């Protein structure tokens, strides 16, 4: 990524090396130490703390350049809000996508009233610099007055089924998971994705693998006290029924 030389003044390393290190950190799932080792293999001696400072300084600059060069989103916006919990408190995650599924912006707010809807709409308009042709939402009562104040000349469509683009944009897409096209596979995959956080929460952290967990569970069942057999159940309120 080519950047003006003014950004790299008073830096020891050239701009190509700095931009490559920042690109490695943000493009792949790497840590600062991983980037340090990759650069060391190419004969560049730089510490992970220097990589962290580069990412903190040049990351927003590179992001603004990529954001300006990306294509303009569609003119049909789908807006939706979903609840989430953080530190025991309930918040609302506002999301907006276009007709192609491109995420326009997200915002976490404490409420979902008219003021929150207006704040999110103004953030969208100021961030993209244009007004959409159509805005599709669900039947939340906060959207009509907020759109009348922020986007008065935009067509507003309120329907639960029409807003599936915003509600399902976070799920896996068909082009990423081709197996989901087969009948019955998609429902199993969606069920597994829903149960995965709960299964992780129930999994004990003391055991490193599922096999060790199963062995520990079987040993605990073996040590369990056997149930006494032949003991008659005590009946309350009268004599036991006679066998026929």
What average pLDDT does range 159-182 have in this prediction? 55
238: alpha, beta or left? (left if phi > 0; alpha if psi -120 to 50):
left
- The encoded tokens of residue 29 equal 């799932």
Tens-place pLDDT, residues 72-131: 888 999 999 989 998 899 999 999 998 888 888 889 999 999 999 999 999 999 888 889
78 backbone dihedrals φ, ψ, rounded to 5°: -110, 125
Q: Are residues 158 and 138 in contact, defined by beta-carbon separation less than 8 angstroms?
A: yes
Q: What is the DSSP letter of 31?
A: -
Which range of 36-45, 162-171, 210-219 scores highest in mean pLDDT? It is 36-45
pLDDT averaged over every residue in the chain: 76
pLDDT of residue 172: 47
pLDDT in tens, 28-37: 989 999 999 9
Looking at residue 232, what is its pLDDT?
A: 52
List pLDDT tens digits, range 119-165: 999 999 988 888 999 999 988 999 999 999 999 989 999 877 665 66
Mean pLDDT of 212-223: 54
Q: Does residue 216 carry a pLDDT above 60? A: no
Give the pLDDT confidence score for residue 179 in this predicted structure: 45
d(CA 151, CA 145): 10
Give the side-chain half-sphere CA count within 13 A for 239.
3
Superfamily of domain 76-167 in the CATH hierarchy = Ribonuclease H-like superfamily/Ribonuclease H (3.30.420.10)
How far is the C-alpha of 49 from the C-alpha of 36, rounded, in Å? 9
Confidence of residue 66 (pLDDT cuts 50, 70, 90): confident
Pick from 4-8, 120-124, 229-233 the range whose average pLDDT is largest.
Answer: 120-124
Asked if 54 and 35 count as a contact pair (C-beta separation under 8 A), the reply is no
**Are the C-beta atoms of 80 and 139 separated by less than 8 Å?**
no
Looking at residue 62, its pLDDT comes to 87
> Measured on CA atoms in the order 21, 25, 29, 30, is the torsion positive or negative?
positive
Q: What angle do CA 184, 187, 193 make, to 5 degrees?
A: 140
Question: How large is the average pLDDT for residues 55-63?
Answer: 90
What is the rounded distance in angstroms from the CA atom of residue 173 to the CA atom of residue 164?
Answer: 13
In the chain, the percentage of residues whose pLDDT exceeds 90 is: 38
Of 30, 29, 5, nearest in space to 19 by CA? 5
Which tops the pLDDT comparison, 90 or 243? 90
- Of 68, 61, 69, 130, the C-alpha closest to 98 is 130
CA dist 109 and 88 (Å) reads: 15
Mutual angle of helices 32-41 and 15-27, in 10-degree steps: 130
Which residue has 């006494």 as its token pair? 228
Domain boundaries, the chain: 5-69, 76-167
More confident residue, 91 or 6: 91
pLDDT at residue 176, as a whole number: 40
- Tell me phi and psi for residue 119, to 5 degrees: -65, -40
Going from the C-alpha of 110 to that of each of 4, 14, 118, 144, the distances in angstroms are: 40, 45, 14, 20
């Amino acid at each position: 990524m080519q950047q003006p030389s003014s950004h790299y003044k008073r830096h020891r390393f050239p701009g190509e090396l700095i931009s490559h290190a920042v690109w490695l950190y943000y493009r792949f799932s790497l840590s600062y130490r991983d980037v340090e080792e990759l650069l060391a293999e190419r004969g560049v001696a730089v510490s992970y703390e220097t990589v962290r400072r580069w990412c903190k300084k040049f990351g927003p600059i590179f992001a603004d350049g990529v954001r300006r060069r990306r294509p303009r989103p569609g003119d049909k916006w789908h807006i939706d809000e979903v609840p989430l919990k953080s530190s025991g408190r309930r918040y609302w995650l506002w999301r907006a996508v276009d007709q192609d599924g491109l995420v326009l912006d997200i915002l976490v707010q404490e409420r979902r009233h008219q003021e929150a809807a207006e704040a999110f709409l103004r953030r969208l308009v100021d961030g993209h610099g244009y007004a959409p042709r159509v805005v599709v939402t669900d039947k939340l009562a906060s959207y009509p007055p907020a759109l009348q104040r922020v986007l008065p000349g935009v067509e507003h469509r309120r329907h639960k089924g029409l807003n599936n683009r915003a509600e399902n944009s976070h799920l896996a897409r068909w082009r990423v998971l081709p197996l989901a096209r087969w009948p019955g596979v998609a429902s199993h995959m969606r069920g597994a994705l829903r149960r995965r956080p709960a299964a992780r929460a129930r999994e004990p952290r003391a055991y490193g693998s599922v096999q060790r967990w199963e062995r520990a569970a079987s040993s605990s069942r073996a040590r369990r006290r056997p149930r006494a057999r032949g003991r008659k159940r005590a009946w309350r309120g009268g004599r036991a029924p006679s066998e026929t």
